[in-house]
Structure 1
Amino acid sequence: MTPKLRDLTARGRVLLATTANQALLGPVSGGIPREYVRSIAERIYQPRIARHVSESVTRTEATVERYDFPADFPPQFRRSKAFDERHAHRLHDVLVSPHSGLVWLPGGPVLEESYGSLIRSLGWGDIRHEPLLPVRRLTGRPVVAFAPTGYYHWLLEVLPAAVFALSVEPEALLLMPENVPAYVLAAAEHLVGPARILRLDDIAHVDTCLLAAVEPMSGFVQRAEIDRLRTAFPTDPTDAKAIYVSRLKDHKRALSNEAEVECAMREAGVTVVYAQDLSFERQRALFAGARTVIAPHGAGLANLVWAQRAERVIEVFPPAWFNDCYARLSRNLGIDYDYVVASPTEEGRCVAPLDRLDALLNEGATAGC
């Protein structure tokens, strides 16, 4: 087979797969990634996009933020991030998913800013099924998506987007599924009150919605967003010298020696907490008042956005896994950050190094004398 024939064969297979996708999934889902809008601002010149947009406002300015990690930290701790200017848009005659916050035009395309990125929507956060769900036509007041996308992404992506959207349209309804975690409902009631919460499992075809663009690089949180959250949720700190955010109740992700770590923490005078057992208000107050936070890598550390008195964070990474999102969040808030790496076990679990944790705690105690 000649190179040209090989190329034509490969292109033909892709075309066949695309055609089959569209036949099976419909014009919206089947058209991803060919039919999607990465940036409304970039495509506003197109009439089919422009007729759905009545207003665009700047949500955050373009900026570069830097994270001053110690020189001996390895290079995977990223020292800077360039953020593009992001916007919020008042849209008309669009479809909105209460499950993920995804927004798309009737018949497509998908507006990726509503969910973050194409990579996310096709990969770990796959939502291609959502345009196939039943649709309910809603008329009346504007809506803002308030999707329960898991604590980390909800707190650091969905919540600040909703707060900004409500600043543009203060009388909007918050759209969410029928069943949501208690923290989602508590935050919604704080923001708009029970009467303006719209709970729906069907896709909503709405007259108007406010779309505040989500950062496409999940894990990077601008300082402006942190300040926006703190302003929207003022918190009275609960005084706590040091807390350990245990994952003992998370059987799939707990350290294999989690119980031993808890004992060591208590002996060191550290308060052991289970974030999943705490109300949204209690989590805010606890993290707002803690001086030292120790935790395995996990969503509980997203609560660092509420930290007002924190001086130090110690994170336990599992082996062969690294994500510096909480390291950057700590440094963004001016909190000293350190970490340890757990050791793997034959069963595929991991063991936190108690001696290293103890040394770091003693080091912090000595520094505070």
Structure 2
Amino acid sequence: MSRLPARLQPAWPLLKRVHRLLSVLAGVVYRPFGRFLGVRGLPRTATTSSAATVERDPDVTLHPGGPAEILDRGPAQGSPPAHWVFERGRHAEIPARYVLDIRDGRLVGDFGASVTPGGILDYQTSGYFGLQGWREHPVFLHPRLPQVEQHDGTLLSLAARGTAGNYYHFLYDAVARYGVFEEAMPGERVDAVVVPHASGYQKQILELAGIPGPYVQPRADRTIRADRLLVPSTPNQDLDAPRSATEWLRKRLPPSGATGTPTRLYLSRGQLPGARRYLQEADLWPRLEAQGFVMLDPGTLSVQEQIDVFHGAEVIVAPHGAALTNLTWSRPGVRVLEMFAGTYVHLGLWTIAEAIGGIHYRYLVGTGTLPEGREPTGIVDDIDIPADVVLAELDLLLAQ
């Protein structure tokens, strides 16, 4: 969505439906020819669970990790009360963790689709945004797989949808899966790790987390083939921030002990159109500043500085955005107010707060509507909430 030109972003819901339909139709045409195209042939079929993949392909084994997690969350507090997105997220069942071990495995595109030598797409470790089944997967959009890049030895894949350019997905859908690998295969050594590492924050996080290289950059125009491919399970597929992932990140990337960081934060997204800006920021900010808030763009800080600032914060007000992923390092007792456009409500930051426990969280949804059960349409829509409404909600939060 963020890659679309601004003029096309309002058409995102229609374009997504077309994308899914084209994947289905193209797959019907192209899949039967996969057997004739060698390593670049499309998967001929798929499974909905990795256990089924193991049963159907003798070149695949599964290394069990930690147990399943049942998450029952209390109701999220905010306005309007009991918003259906948060109500739907109150219960989640996270499958048991594992690592899939594929001999002569293929990893497709920057979304990291896992394909076995028998031509099976392991859909459980290859999920993509907004799909209703494996036949809609974008791996089927083209007649054959992208150009193959051969790697000798054992590769560990941390690649997944969204991890190439989003701070939230990189932390929870890529880096946190290294914990699954360590848990399921303790002491196992690999020859390289497939993980996005082109940006500064990605390199910093990998170093802070102690994930050794060498690294291989997943690319949309490449299929990575390895003698042995290890693929950890993806427990954050539904934005659930399971406690196992949250706790691993908190322990693996601890605060430095820095003092003197601001205790009241307002996170700004700036005022560029098409960037989910908060429209009334010029009205709200002077009134927050008078209450001791500091305006912050976390993207201007190093990763360690972001960890330290959020660890020391006592109150955080912010429009929805990936910067709030840093709640991962907040302490119980912090108070958080997250603002949304009415057309795009996202539970991923609330689930982090719930996983930590003891965080006082409130949401505030602005103008626009998102019909119940519908896919969000306004991913980059501006947030339109009068400053007086925000301050009133902040008073409720501080009074909790």
| Same fold (TM > 0.5) | yes
**Match of 2:155, as an amino acid?**
P
Asked whether the equivalents of residues 98 and 176 of structure 1 are also in contact (C-alpha less than 8 Å), the reply is no
Q: What is the alpha-carbon distance in structure 1 between the residues aligned to residue 33 and residue 283 of structure 2? A: 52
Offset of residue 126 of structure 1: 4.1
CA distance 1:105–1:249, change in 2 (3 Å): farther
C-alpha deviation, 1:361, in angstroms: 3.1
The residue that corresponds to 1:50 in the other structure is 58
Mapped partners of 1:182, 1:311: distance in 2: 28
Which residue of 2 is the match for residue 174 of structure 1? Answer: 193
Q: Specify every segment of 5 or more residues in structure 2 that has no aligned partner in the other structure, as ranges.
A: 1-22, 369-380
Contact 2:335/2:359 (8 A) holds in 1: yes
> How far apart, in 2, do the equivalents of 1:357 and 1:15 lie?
44
Deviation, 1:341, is 2.1
Percent identical pairs in the alignment equals 20
SS of corresponding position for 1:339: strand
Indicate if the aligned counterparts of 2:53 and 2:122 stay in contact, CA closer than 8 A.
Answer: no
Alignment partner of 1:102 is 2:86: no
Find out whether 1:39 has 2:45 as its counterpart: no
Q: Deviations over 1:251-280 (max 9, x none)?
A: 311122233333332222111111222222
For 2:51 and 2:355, locate their aligned partners in 1 and report how far apart those are by CA, in whole Å: 28
8 Å contact kept, 2:30–2:140: no
Measure, in 2, the Cα distance between the counterparts of 1:56 and 1:184: 27
The equivalent position to 1:197 in structure 2, one of 209, 215, 219, is 215
Q: Is the 8 A contact 1:246 1:262 kept in 2?
A: no
CA distance in 2: counterparts of 1:154 and 1:124, whole angstroms: 23
Q: Does the Cα contact within 8 Å between 2:158 and 2:232 map onto a contact in 1? A: no
Three-state SS of the structure 2 residue aligned to 1:162 is helix
* Aligned residues of 1:289 and 1:310 also touching (Cα < 8 A): no
Residue in structure 1 matched with residue 157 of structure 2 by the alignment: 144
Structure 1 runs not aligned, ≥5 long? 1-13
Deviation at 1:301, TM superposition (A): 1.5
Contact 2:24–2:135 (Cα < 8 Å) also in 1: no
1:44 aligns to what SS in structure 2?
helix
1:280 and 2:287 are equivalent in the alignment: no
- Separation (CA, whole Å) in 2 of partners of 1:316 and 1:69: 17
Query: What is the deviation of 1:309?
Result: 4.8
Equivalent residue for 1:259? 282
Moved more, 212-221 or 313-322: 212-221
How many Å apart are 1:311 and its aligned residue? 2.1
The answer to whether the 8 Å contact 1:343/1:353 transfers is: no
What is the CA-CA distance between 1:41 and the residue it aligns to?
Answer: 1.3
Q: Once the two structures are superposed, what CA deviation does each residue of 1:337-363 show, in whole Å capped at 9, x if it has no partner?
A: 11222236xxx7442221122223344
Deviations 1:24-62 (A, max 9, x none): 999799967x7112212133222xx23232x41224x22
Asked if the contact 2:336–2:360 (Cα under 8 Å) also holds between the matched residues in 1, the reply is yes
Q: Does 1:337 align with 2:347?
A: no
- 1:248 aligns to what? 270
- The aligned counterpart of 2:15 is none
- Indicate the SS of the match to 2:70: strand
Which deviations, in whole Å up to 9, do the C-alpha atoms of 1:82-116 show, x marking residues without a partner? 22223222222101246222221246221223233
Kindly indicate whether residue 308 of structure 2 is the aligned counterpart of residue 302 of structure 1.
no
Q: Which residue of 2 aligns with 1:235?
A: 255
Distance 1:25 1:248 in 2: 47
1:193, distance to aligned residue in structure 2 (A)? 6.3
- TM-score, structure 1 length as denominator? 0.80
What is the one-letter code of the residue matched to 2:69?
Answer: T
Aligned partner of 2:68 in structure 1 is: 62
Deviation at 1:241, TM superposition (A): 1.6
> TM-score scaled to structure 2, two decimals?
0.74
Name the CA shift for 1:342/1:308 in 2 (closer, same or farther; >3 Å). Answer: same
> Does the Cα contact within 8 Å between 1:340 and 1:353 map onto a contact in 2?
no
SS at 2:295's partner residue?
Answer: strand
CA–CA distance in structure 2, aligned partners of residues 143 and 113 of structure 1: 17
Matching of residues 206-225 of structure 1 within 5 Å? 206-215=226-235, 217-225=237-245
1:161 correspondence with 2:177: yes
